[in-house]
Amino acid sequence: MMKRINHIIACCLLVPAALLTSCNDWLDVQPRSQVEDNKLFESESGFKEALAGVYSSMVSEKTYTKEMLYGTIGILGQEWDQFSSTAYADMNDYNYSSTQSVLQISNIWATSYNSIANANNIINKIDEKKNLFGTDNFNIIKGESYALRAFLHFDLLRCFGVSYEQNADMPAIPYCTELTYRVFPQLTVKAVADKIEKDLLEAEALLKSDPIYTGRKITEIDDNGYLMNRRVHLNYYAVKGLQARLYMWMHAYEKAALCAQAVIKSNVFAWTTGDDLAKGYDYACAPEQLFALNVLTLSTLADTYFSEDNNTDSYSLNVNSLTEYYDNNTDDYRYLYQFASGTKGEYVDYRYLTKFNTPNVKKDLSEDPASFYMNKIPLIRLGEMYLILSECQYRANGSGLEALNKLRVARNLLALPNDPADFYLELIREYRRELIGEGQLFFLYKRLNRASVIGTDADMIGEKAYTFPIPISETDASQRENNR
């Protein structure tokens, strides 16, 4: 489905004035054909290509194959002992004004709004072309586009807006909904969150026809298998998982619990087994993925950034840190199977994440093809739903053990007999164990408005370390208010 759309959809939008300077550039989404925008939406296949283009634009080291996961956001969460000091020395100190930090922050802003522009192009065109579509594709493509717009705005909000805990009425970011040169207004944290919620509710309603929800079996005979492999799309249950994240951010804990439970009770997602992890069949917990990006260059990323031979770009933990992460529970599947030892000199004492490694081909493929386990970067997983539910239960009745222990047992740990003395500290540590390299730990600290982050003595609140400044080019051109 991924073809070359030799057209810069983004520059036609746009809220971020900084992106208007790139209107002569082209959006490259896995080349095969060149399709002008006025031709693109004259067929159902054109809409499919445009949607593929949104996902392709997210497969960028500036966002969802590096910086929004284990790179910038991982560094800010103090997840690593070793990383490229050239690239991240300032970011590690929460210095957002250095040349390198400004570039990384600006790239997150511009690349994310570029993807939003592509989603908007679909949303703005699809209703007038409804007659082009088959049975379910209209609702599903439109639903995914709304979901993608919400997903991308939410991560921008988590980067460039303060937390609800701090001030929900603080100016944050623009919410882009059209293809226009008009500058969209900067909205408050609450106003942006409300718009994200609205888009997700729209997506949820449209995706009621999603095969992952209805249970309808799809084969390659059906529309060339277009609705197969729903986990690499923002499907119905990925929307529910994203709603759970959003409602936690908005302090709507009852709603968050209901959304997390909807995912859990669906029985669509299962825990990866210790045997599959031990044999290297499944490094990234594929059965647990609500939503993952299909990244054909994943093995190259793993070799570059998690090389057991180490290099200047590698991310790793020393063995003592890893043991501390996992509370000396060396039977924990994550400790045992999701890290590899260094191979050279001093680096034998360092441990390298294997989540993005190419898995071995599973012997029994009676249920899932090899592609089910290959080339996938998880963006939302089942374990997070249990962590969300645990926190909601704790806030409601003073005990989060029920959900927390189900996650622990799935990871080969004993159930805790009693709630920990400091529940939120334990919650943070479990996020760190479960979601390392997946870009969620730093945002947890921010949502809870913690004064400190494990691994640094920085005054996170006093230094305004939780919120990126809006890029200067954007504030100068559009006169944005202070977002910090």
**Lowest-confidence segment of 28-42, 346-360, 427-441 by average pLDDT:** 28-42
SS3 state at 303: helix
Please tell me the distance from the alpha carbon of residue 338 to that of residue 12, in angstroms, as a whole number. 43
The torsion region of residue 95 among left (phi > 0), alpha (psi -120 to 50) and beta comes to beta
pLDDT at 181: 72
Token pair 């799309």 is found at 233
pLDDT band at 475 (very low <50, low <70, confident <90, very high): confident
Full set of structural domains in the chain with CATH: 43-478 (1.25.40.390)
pLDDT at 38: 67
What is the average pLDDT across 237-257? 98
pLDDT band at 179 (very low <50, low <70, confident <90, very high): confident
What backbone phi and psi angles, to 5 degrees, belong to 188? -75, 165
Element (H, E) at 443: helix 441-448
What backbone phi and psi angles, to 5 degrees, belong to 242? -70, -35
pLDDT at 477: 67
What is the average pLDDT across 243-258? 98
Q: Is the pLDDT of residue 443 over 50?
A: yes
What letters, b where the CB count within 10 A reaches 16 and e where it falls short, cover 267-289?
ebbebbeeebbeebbbbbbbbbb
One-letter amino acid of 135: T
Of 76 and 1, the one with more pLDDT:
76
Q: What is the mean pLDDT of the chain?
A: 90
pLDDT at 20: 33
pLDDT for 413-426, tens place per residue? 999 999 999 999 99
What is the average pLDDT across 329-357? 94
Q: Is the pLDDT of residue 195 over 50?
A: yes
Contact of 469 with 105, CB cutoff 8 Å: yes
Contact of 241 with 263, CB cutoff 8 Å: yes
What is the average pLDDT across 242-246? 98
What is the average pLDDT across 440-448? 98
- Please give the DSSP secondary-structure letter assigned to residue 78: T
pLDDT at 234: 98
Element (H, E) at 318: strand 317-318
Q: Is the pLDDT of residue 6 over 70?
A: no
Contact of 356 with 377, CB cutoff 8 Å: yes
Please tell me the distance from the alpha carbon of residue 13 to that of residue 54, in angstroms, as a whole number. 14
Of 29 and 185, the one with more pLDDT:
185
